[in-house]
Each structure stands twice: as C-alpha cells, then as structure tokens.
C-alpha cells in the first residue's frame, strides 16, 4: 500500500475535497454550500474553504439565492460553474466519399458548443496529419484569450492501447503512432485521441438518448462503417482496440476484394461505397440517375444526395439505400445475438435518411431474429454527426477538469 508524507496526505485530501465539490456542482448544475455539504458529507467549513478557493480561481460564480431553510435564517447563495472559465477543443476527422472533413468544435464547461467550423482536406497520410496539426494550431492561436483545457481527437480508425493506428486504410496511414504525434505537436495542452465510434457512444451517453442504458450498440454508417458496444455499462474495446470493427466482417466469401486484402467485407455493401459502385453502373448503362446525385456535365457524384433523394421518393436512390440497409441488417442481427442489446443507435450520414432507415431495419430485424431480440429499440443518435465531438469533449472534461480519475481511485 502507498504511504504518503503528512504534507502529501494533506495535499491529496485538499485535492479530493476540491474534486468532490466541483463534481457535485457540475452534476446538479447549481447548488448551495449547505447542499454541497449534505451531498458530499464534508463539513460546512471545509465546503466554504473549497468554494472560496474555486471562486478566487474564477471557476465558480454566484447565481442568485435559494429559498431559506425551515428554521428561517439567511437565504443560501447558489453557486454554479462559470461555463467560460475554460474550454475543450474537439476535433473530428471524418472520411467522406471523396475527401476528408475536419470538424472543430469548441465546448464550454457545460458541454455546449460555442463555436464550430469545418474544413475539407484532400490529402492523406502524414500530409493529412500535418495539415490537421496546422488547422488546430491556427484555431488555438485565434482563440489565444481562451483557456483550452485539452484537445480531443476523434478518428475513424482502430487505435491500440498506446494510441497507435493499427489499420488506417481510409486515412492512408498504417501502424502510425497517432497519439504520440499529436501529443508532441501540442506539448502544453493535454491531448486525448479516441476512435470515432467509441467517442460517439460516449457522447450519446453523456448528452444524448442513452444516458441510462446498460446494453447498447451504436452503429455509424457513411463512407465507412463502425460499431461500438456498451455491455453491462462498460465500453467494449477488446484486447487490441478492434472490438466493433464490423466493416471488415466478411458477409460474402465470394465477394469483391476489400482494401484489407480479404473478400466480401461488410463495408463494400453497407456503406456509401455500394452507392458509388451502383451509380457508376447506372451511368454506364444510361439508366436515370437524379442530377443532384450525378452531374454528367462535370462527371461528379454527390453521395449524400442519395439519402435525400431516397427520402424524396426517387426509386433508384431508394433501391440503393434499401440494398445497403438489408446488408447492414445481416451484421446487426449477428451483433444482436452476440450482445443482446436494449437499444441500437444509428449514427453517421445514414441519419440523412433516418425516416427510411429506422422502420426498414426494425422490419428486417423482426424477420431475422427471434422474439426477445425483436424487442430492441432502434433510434437515431440525438447528437447527429456531432456525437463523437461531444464524446471527446466529455472525456477531456472528466479527465482534466472534473478529475474523475482521482474520484475513482479514492472511491474504489
């Protein structure tokens, strides 16, 4: 067992009290000293000391007065965290059909987005990483007056425990020490790197539809496909970080060859890659394709319009989306048997056609799985395409502001 010097003990205790008070106020939004004392079981004088310190630091502010106690007395002062005391910068790297989008969202301490921007990048590989570093650096310089608690990156690739990209085909990187590279680029700011689908499920758990759900599967569909499972309340990562990487699950051993070298991977059928293939075939055979989807004048495909046109009722686009959904259901039904979830949350570009997707998936699952499994609720991610950004922002908030690691260590 660890031993601490007396001074060390004292410091740890102060840190623990501060963390307890901060977490209590964060959890309730706003509360009074007396309530904090009741909730944390810390003495009123300890709470007052901690609160005084937090007010001096500018973290806490007064937000009016509460009602007085039964015994009469002075009305208690309500305290709240100043949302603009510090910020978290969330950076999402999203692979689209023909480019990579970098999303930057600045979150305040209430996990509200105060500013966001998006850029399209054409480069891949180390050039891409260099551009992303430059964009982030420029954003931070532009907000030099703001205290940035940390930078959280959400990436569409498998990361092992050391933050090394194992399979980054879509970004043109393999066995790349991403976390180390990004941390080195921002030496004075804490950096976290999380896989997109895990970040998204954490975001939905913090702010979205699934706050209290213990067993759920999140599936994101767009240019790629990924899933993340929460089982008995815990995120499943697997030994090498690859749990939920269903894109390379083979659904057709006689199918086409995938970039991973294997045959018939799900991503060839249940992502926008299937749209592009069928649009090209239709164009070759001079079949009618909406102009919004394929513009022959400039020979350009707009994949996202497939979802919109499908919802509008275009029969060609509808057949593309339905075909994709049916192949997706093959994978979902397997996941359902493996993990027996209460909910399935859909994310990614597929949400552009959620009116079509949710009933279609429900119908197919009813045909494919037995009765207890058919009780599963299928829902759209509430945070839309921003889920993973909320996820990395909440990771930074927990780690670098609320100091939850300390609470877990001392509480457990």
CA dist 110 → 23, 31, 113, 338, 386 (Å): 12, 15, 9, 36, 16
Q: Which residues bind Zn ion (CB under 5 A)?
A: 248, 258, 260, 262, 265
Q: Residue 262 Cβ, how far from Zn ion at the closest point, in Å?
A: 5
Q: Which two tokens stand for residue 27?
A: 């959890």
Rounded distance between C-alpha atoms, residue 17 and residue 52, angstroms: 13
Rounded distance between C-alpha atoms, residue 359 and residue 167, angstroms: 33
Q: Residue 175 Cβ, how far from Zn ion at the closest point, in Å?
A: 17
Q: Which is nearer to Zn ion, 197 or 403 (CB)?
A: 197
Rounded distance between C-alpha atoms, residue 93 and residue 107, angstroms: 17
Q: Which is nearer to Zn ion, 205 or 248 (CB)?
A: 248
Q: Residue 258 Cβ, how far from Zn ion at the closest point, in Å?
A: 3
Contact 346, 381 (CB under 8 A): yes
Q: Which is nearer to Zn ion, 13 or 259 (CB)?
A: 259
Q: Which is nearer to Zn ion, 161 or 262 (CB)?
A: 262
Q: Residue 277 Cβ, how far from Zn ion at the closest point, in Å?
A: 15
Residue 195 CB neighbours (<10 A): 25
**Range 256-265 contact pairs with CB under 8 angstroms and sequence separation of 24 or more:** 259/169, 260/167, 260/169
User: Residue 87: which of 398, 397, 404, 405 has the closest Cα?
Assistant: 397
Q: Which is nearer to Zn ion, 235 or 260 (CB)?
A: 260
Q: Residue 219 Cβ, how far from Zn ion at the closest point, in Å?
A: 17
Q: Residue 250 Cβ, how far from Zn ion at the closest point, in Å?
A: 8
Contact 155, 196 (CB under 8 A): yes
Q: Which is nearer to Zn ion, 50 or 335 (CB)?
A: 335
CA dist 281 → 26, 228, 278, 316 (Å): 55, 33, 5, 12
Residue 162 CB neighbours (<10 A): 10
Q: Residue 301 Cβ, how far from Zn ion at the closest point, in Å?
A: 22
Q: Which is nearer to Zn ion, 27 or 262 (CB)?
A: 262
């Amino acid at each position: 067992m660890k031993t601490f010097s007396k001074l060390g003990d004292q410091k740890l205790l102060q840190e623990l009290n501060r963390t307890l008070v901060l977490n209590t106020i964060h959890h309730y939004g706003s509360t009074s000293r007396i309530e904090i004392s009741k909730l944390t079981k810390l003495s009123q004088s300890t709470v007052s000391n901690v609160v005084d310190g937090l007010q001096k630091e500018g973290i806490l502010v007064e937000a009016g007065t509460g009602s007085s106690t039964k015994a009469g007395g002075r009305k208690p002062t309500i305290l709240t965290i100043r949302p603009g005391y510090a910020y978290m910068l969330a950076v999402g790297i999203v692979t689209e059909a023909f480019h990579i989008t970098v999303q930057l969202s600045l979150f305040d301490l209430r996990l509200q987005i105060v500013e966001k921007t998006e850029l399209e990048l054409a480069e891949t590989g180390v050039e891409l990483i260099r551009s992303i570093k430059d964009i982030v650096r420029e954003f931070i310089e532009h907000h030099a007056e703001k205290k940035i608690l940390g930078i959280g990156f959400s990436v569409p690739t498998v990361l092992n425990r050391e933050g090394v990209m194992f399979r980054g085909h879509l970004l043109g990187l393999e066995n790349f020490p991403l976390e180390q590279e990004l941390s080195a680029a921002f030496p004075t700011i804490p950096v976290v790197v999380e896989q997109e689908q895990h970040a998204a499920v954490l975001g939905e758990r913090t702010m979205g539809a699934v706050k209290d759900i213990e067993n759920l599967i999140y599936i994101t569909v767009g240019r790629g496909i990924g899933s993340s499972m929460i089982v008995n309340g815990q995120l499943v990562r697997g030994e090498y970080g690859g749990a939920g990487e269903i894109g390379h699950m083979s659904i057709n051993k006689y199918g086409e060859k995938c970039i991973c070298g294997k045959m018939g991977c799900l991503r060839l059928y249940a992502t926008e890659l299937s749209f592009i293939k069928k649009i090209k075939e239709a164009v070759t055979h001079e079949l009618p394709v909406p102009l919004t989807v394929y513009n022959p004048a400039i020979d350009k495909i707009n994949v996202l319009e497939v979802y919109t046109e499908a919802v509008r009722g275009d029969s060609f686009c509808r057949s593309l989306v339905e075909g994709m959904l049916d192949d997706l259901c093959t994978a979902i039904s397997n996941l359902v048997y493996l993990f027996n979830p209460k909910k399935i949350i859909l994310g990614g570009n597929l949400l552009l056609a959620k009116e079509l997707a949710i009933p279609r998936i429900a119908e197919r699952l009813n045909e494919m799985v037995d009765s207890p499994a058919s009780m599963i609720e299928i829902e759209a991610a509430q945070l839309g395409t921003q889920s993973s950004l909320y996820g990395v922002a909440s990771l930074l908030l927990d780690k670098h502001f609320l100091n939850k690691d300390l609470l877990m260590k001392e509480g457990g």
